[in-house]
Structure 1
């Protein structure tokens, strides 16, 4: 035993294993038509249910296959690129009423992969003097980077809001409103924000990543309060480290208010790539040339800060937003009851499309003969021709083909006159009294004899019915 323990080494080198660069070891070709997703709230979203239910929700039963990569991440592989593009066009998606971060697969994903989602936001309570594209972009930048603005100043605005598409950081809270100080002492404007397709969030911090019962902010506050009660100690907020240190070439060139995180936007005032370019621009010069370059950097940053457009394009390196003339772009089908936007109305879906029934009648015209002297339309005649076995009579949604009439509750199918036929017991009793339909009560030869026999039969049936009622009463 001692020899075996002495032979064992506790300081073995952990050398990484080299994976073979062979096609059978890589699944990149299969992953081209796939998306990678992330559960924003894994505590309230089960991965197994997501893998089974999302293809049904997307209506891609046989064309999508899910793979659980970890407790939070998943992958869905589609059979075609059209199905993949259709899913990505749906925008922000939810499962179990909590959000999902979904993006197209990338061979080398960036550091902030699945950290941002695209959201359509409705901006409400915009003042009449600020209905411009530039002002709307500024209002939208407060909640996220504006990607697209759905606004046309030359058309009528029938809705009390303007929609913008933003790139939202899921670690940030969903801001409900923001107060803006208007220029020239015109007062303040309280812009309200409504996020489309967002269902559940934390009611305390307005984040998408957890429920209120496990909110980290509330937990931290309770812990600090408990420690302060036990130790009679007040905790101060930690002082953040300065962005520009003394060893930084930009120290003394830029002010503290020009760098760091913008508190309202939640994004850096100057992108890290731009700061690094300024440092390299100053390090390659010495003496008098260094001072000239420092003045150029100061002047360039000051001029870029004069407008919001130059701040986005020059300092933050953000692409310019797309201006869309369709105010309801990306909204999709909205199902409602009695609403003008309801997509359940067939006229809105296919306003000028061909009628399926008329096409079927035209296809069946050579083999089906229409009845003569008929004033009914093609729809009613088709019902008579096909009969009860017609595939166009009843649909899965309860739709029926025929003549319709107006009613207090809308339109309903116009019914035909019902057949006036006595009850089953009366018909059976008449047959037994008359000796059957082929017995003595049947019509004899000659019109006069037949009429007399029919009246006699009716009198007998009337007396028999009265006697039966008296007997059983």
Structure 2
């Protein structure tokens, strides 16, 4: 009881003292050590055990029809999802069973030769819009899981050069030739012929190529891969997306012309300076100048030589001497004013 309490206390102290991630790392290291301890060679020198032949024969019979495969883009193709989904896609759910093996690979066990051949004949197959590499497995000759059997449509062969030997030669220029789909009687009524090739996924796809049926005369042929899904549009590889390609658009052409770099240097790269935005500042008005200008306009009608006191001599003496004289007795002002008393005496009395 005391040891349990000490152990619980030690774990709780670890989780409180150190972060949870550090604790998980310690647990993982302990599990790895326990596995490593069991890898010792105890029992290596013991006598071998023999399995009965009938049990071995039954096991081989059950595992005769195996299809091995791997995803071309593991980051986008989960192995468990592939095993769970592909039997249903093939229409053999409950009959085909899958399992994950090492090296990022998987296996599908089929019940019969017919079911296995049907899947191979209807291929190639894709998962999550990316290709799958599927090849039949043989115990004596394990396949190199790098090849996808594609049916390729070849377009543009002139009719007067069209025969099986020419088609086979063009197919072998693309990859290992598996089959040729050609009917001499119907060739004049179709736009293409078909070849089946085993395409190495480590090589970039090619959709056009110049072929010389006559010396010095190039004929452009176009290739279309049936049931093709997901490839890099920059370099043509199936193993990554266009956005993850490390090869820019012009690098391939640059590598092809490396020998001519000395004679034809690359053009100078001019950086785009973009759009330069400048602030438009209107000049502020000069207030003093505007005020002076208004004053000049206002003084245009004033006579600088005018004497404002020149007419005072024409005025009567009493106005000129005493401008504040009683206006009631002033004959100059009285005619302009009505000084008659109010007809109502009650109004005039308060003012008196």
Give the structure-2-normalised TM-score.
Answer: 0.53
Name 1:160's counterpart in structure 2: 191
| Uncovered stretches (5+) of structure 1, i.e. residues with no partner | 1-12, 222-235, 238-473
Deviations 1:271-296 (A, max 9, x none): xxxxxxxxxxxxxxxxxxxxxxxxxx
Quote the Cα distance in structure 2 between the aligned partners of 1:73 and 1:203: 26
1:78 offset after TM fit, Å? 1.9
Quote the Cα distance in structure 2 between the aligned partners of 1:211 and 1:20: 50
Out of 170, 174, 177, the residue aligned to residue 205 of structure 2 is 174
TM-aligned CA distance change 1:15 to 1:168, over 3 Å: farther
Quote the Cα distance in structure 1 between the aligned partners of 2:158 and 2:90: 40
Name 1:22's counterpart in structure 2: 51
Give matches, 1:388-399, under 5 Å.
Answer: none
Out of 176, 192, 195, the residue aligned to residue 222 of structure 2 is 192
1:152 offset after TM fit, Å? 1.8
Name 2:280's counterpart in structure 1: none
- Alignment RMSD: 3.0
Deviations 1:8-61 (A, max 9, x none): xxxxx9899588553679954432122111111111111111111111101111
Quote the Cα distance in structure 1 between the aligned partners of 2:44 and 2:69: 28
Out of 58, 72, 75, the residue aligned to residue 107 of structure 2 is 75
Give the structure-1-normalised TM-score.
Answer: 0.40
1:183 offset after TM fit, Å? 2.1
Quote the Cα distance in structure 2 between the aligned partners of 1:126 and 1:180: 9
1:71 offset after TM fit, Å? 5.8
| Counterpart check, 1:88 vs 2:117 | no
Quote the Cα distance in structure 1 between the aligned partners of 2:220 and 2:137: 40
Deviates more, 1:153-162 or 1:173-182: 153-162
Q: Is the 8 A contact 2:159 2:188 kept in 1?
A: no
Name 1:134's counterpart in structure 2: 165
Q: Is the 8 A contact 1:123 1:193 kept in 2?
A: yes
Q: Is the 8 A contact 2:187 2:193 kept in 1?
A: no
Larger Rg: 2
Name 1:45's counterpart in structure 2: 77
Quote the Cα distance in structure 2 between the aligned partners of 1:84 and 1:43: 27
Out of 111, 118, 130, the residue aligned to residue 149 of structure 2 is 118
**Partner SS, residue 38 of structure 1:** strand
1:206 offset after TM fit, Å? 0.8
The size of the alignment, in residue pairs, is 208
Give matches, 1:229-308, under 5 Å.
Answer: none
Quote the Cα distance in structure 2 between the aligned partners of 1:33 and 1:78: 5
Quote the Cα distance in structure 1 between the aligned partners of 2:222 and 2:118: 31
TM-aligned CA distance change 1:217 to 1:33, over 3 Å: same
Quote the Cα distance in structure 2 between the aligned partners of 1:126 and 1:21: 62
1:72 offset after TM fit, Å? 2.4
1:218 offset after TM fit, Å? 5.1
Question: Structure 1: which 4+ aligned runs deviate by more than 6 Å?
Answer: 13-16
